[in-house]
Structure 1
Amino acid sequence: MRKRKLGKSDIFVSEIGLGCMSLPTNKQDSNKIIQFALDNGINYFDTADLYDKGENEKIVGNALKDNRKDIILATKVGNRLHASGEGWSWDPSKKWITSAVHESLKRLQTDYIDVYQLHGGTMEDDVDEVIDTMESLKKEGLIREYGISSIRPTVIDRFLQNSNAVSVMMQYSLLDRRPEEWFSLLEKNDVSLLSRGTLAKGLLTSEGLHRANRTEEYLSYTNEDLVFAIEQLQSLDAPITSVALRYVLQQKVTGSLIIGASSKEQLLESLEAYDRAVSNDILLKASEITKREVYKEHRL
């Protein structure tokens, strides 16, 4: 498994990272998937305090505690669960982040977080306070680096202008190419892309055509558009999943593909697809098949 430098940091992350939100709630089943990821060279594990009301962090922390020095652990903050346990609200305040990081550290069974990410963001946030809080957490040694998970160009741009962020997590795939317009912004700020949704809810897998036939629409793709695009992608001289992964990895700004898995078999499929070479000609054809859309809202 190859690794890439995360932005301007000294952190190196595996090109495939495990998105832990999809892990089973059963500890034994999750442990098997996480161990399989470790055995196959994955060192980047991504969770959030919101996932399963904090239980996901507990599962991840317990499974990785004996490998802590060898892995890069990332989590997120900003969505505050209501006291009732039902629903949450957005809270990027210094008070909440400072409190939440300590709770995450307990659940993760560690004394530091490698990459702490703001889990969203709005233009109404006090971004200076958020950044100041993140910088303070770095000085305390509670986090090594920080970033943001958002698809809003306005929010991302403002955050990067004023901070030492090293990563931006965005939904990005062959079927959702909206982030491409903003890759120059990431490059300018020496920030890496953490790509989520790289397989587009399974549409870019061997089951893609079956899923497409049951999908009314995907972004601006009508059902007819989607089925046609998947058929064309599947006709290329390489497995569709390999094409999907390689397409994102060819981008200079890409740090890691955050791939979710609810079973060892599912993760194995992604790893086998990752190991398959795909020619530049095929990647070019894939780009010609799919739409290069742009974000219609939250523009600079």
Structure 2
Amino acid sequence: MKRRRLGASDLYVTELGLGCMSIGTDELSSRKIIEAALEEGINYFDTADLYDFGENEKIVGSALKDVREQVIIATKVGNCWKQDRSGWSWDPSKAYIKEAVKNSLKRLGTDYIDLYQLHGGTIEDPIDETIEAFEELKAEGLIRYYGISSIRPNVIREYVRKSEMVSVMMQYSMLDRRPEEEALPLLHEKGISAVTRGPLAKGLLSDKLLEKVSEKGYLDYSYEELRKTLGLLKEKVGAGRSFTEVALQYNLANPAVASVVAGASSAEQIRGNAKAVKSQPLTDQEVELIKDLTKNNIYPEHR
């Protein structure tokens, strides 16, 4: 599987990464999913301390223990579970980040994290303090690089301006083109990579596309708009190839994108996603056709 450089780092991530949130808590089945990812050549694994109250980090760390030097482990920080696990609070403070990283390292069973990401954030956060925490963790050798996971354009701009982050994780798909207006061009210009999630838009852009349409619609698409748009996409772009291929290749066609992080709840899903990423890239004409058939969404909120 092809690899792309993550920002200005020396990390080269596979074009498909495994989003580990969906692998579950059964160690045997989750290990099979991770092993299938490794067999397909995937080297990028994304987890978070929030997932399954930290159990996800334990499972991921254990499954990757024997290949630790060959893989890139990304995890996230900032959400703090309440003691009764009824919910979580947000804490981007330096003190919390520097304490939380120790717990993540312990759960992952490693002495360093390749990519440590702020798991959200608002413009009211103490951004300078958060950056200071990440820079100190780099200097201490506990993390190699850092980034943020955010869809907020104003937050992204602040970190671009103030930090040495190498990546931004954000939701992006043919049905959610919001990053194309404000985020992706800026990141590409500054040499910071986008790591995209949600490429299949909750299954709407998979091979079961029309079966997944809900009366609620999706983002700014009504039910009728979705049915019409998905039908046209299938007819004009998806003929003769898996629609999962079209969806993943659309993300990879953007020059700012280093890796598409897709979740999987089975080894079969991993293999299907890997096949899609290894398939023929979209032509420039196909990309433009997709843009003509879909909405050029913008961010009215998330500021």
TM-score bucket of the superposed structures, by smaller chain: over 0.9
Equivalent residue, structure 1, for 2:210: 209
The question of 1:45 aligning with 2:45 is answered yes
Give, in whole Å, the separation in 2 of the partners of 1:210 and 1:253.
Answer: 31
The aligned residue for residue 230 of structure 2 is: 230
Deviation at 1:189, TM superposition (A): 2.2
Q: 1:197 matched to which residue of 2?
A: 198
CA contact (8 A) 2:49 2:77 kept: yes
**Cα gap change, 1:60 to 1:215, in 2 (>3 Å):** farther
For 1:276, give the aligned amino acid: S
Q: Do structure 1's residue 291 and structure 2's residue 292 form an aligned pair?
A: no
Instruction: Give me the whole-angstrom Cα distance separating, in 1, the residues matched to 2:18 and 2:282.
Output: 25
Structure 2 counterparts to residues 139-288 of structure 1, below 5 A: 139-181=139-181, 182-212=183-213, 214-235=214-235, 236=237, 237=239, 238-280=241-283, 281-288=285-292
Distance 1:278 1:225 in 2: 27
Q: Deviations over 1:236-285 (max 9, x none)?
A: 33322111111110111001000100001111121122222144133322
Q: CA deviation at 1:232?
A: 1.1
Q: Secondary structure at the match of 1:74?
A: strand
Supply the distance in 2 between the matched residues of 1:239 and 1:84 (Cα, whole angstroms).
44
Q: Partner amino acid for 2:76?
A: K
Which position in structure 1 is the counterpart of 2:111? 111
2:300 counterpart letter in structure 1: K
> Is contact 2:253–2:281 with CA below 8 Å preserved after alignment?
no
Contact map agreement 1:30 1:59 (CA 8 A) in 2: yes
Q: What displacement does 1:123 show?
A: 1.2
Could you tell which deviates more after superposition, 14-23 or 184-193?
184-193
After TM superposition, the runs of 4+ consecutive aligned structure 1 residues lying more than 4 A away are none
Q: Distance in 2 between matches of 1:283 and 1:184?
A: 16
Contact 1:170 1:195 in 2 (8 A): yes
Aligned ranges 1:80-159 → 2 under 5 Å = 80-159=80-159
Residues in 2 aligned to 1:227 and 1:276: alpha-carbon distance in whole angstroms: 26
Superposition deviation, residue 229 in structure 1: 1.0
Shift, 1:215, TM fit: 4.1
Asked if 2 retains the 8 angstrom alpha-carbon contact of 1:243 and 1:283, the reply is no
Aligned to 1:72: 72
Superposition deviation, residue 298 in structure 1:
4.5
Distance in 1 separating the partners of 2:199 and 2:176: 9
The one-letter amino acid paired with 1:90 is: W
Residues 48, 75 of structure 2: 8 Å contact kept: yes
Q: Determine helix, strand or coil for the equivalent of 2:80.
A: strand
Q: Alpha-carbon deviations, 1:95-150, whole Å to 9, x = none?
A: 11011000000000000000000000111111110000000000000000000000
Gaps of at least 5 residues in structure 1 are none
Q: TM-score, normalised by structure 1?
A: 0.97
RMSD across aligned positions (CA):
1.1
**Conserved in 1, the CA contact under 8 Å of 2:16 and 2:42?**
yes
Give the match's secondary structure for 1:227: helix
Which amino acid in 1 is paired with 2:41? Answer: G
Q: Give secondary structure in 2 for the equivalent of 1:58.
A: helix
SS at match of 1:277: coil
The number of aligned residues is: 298
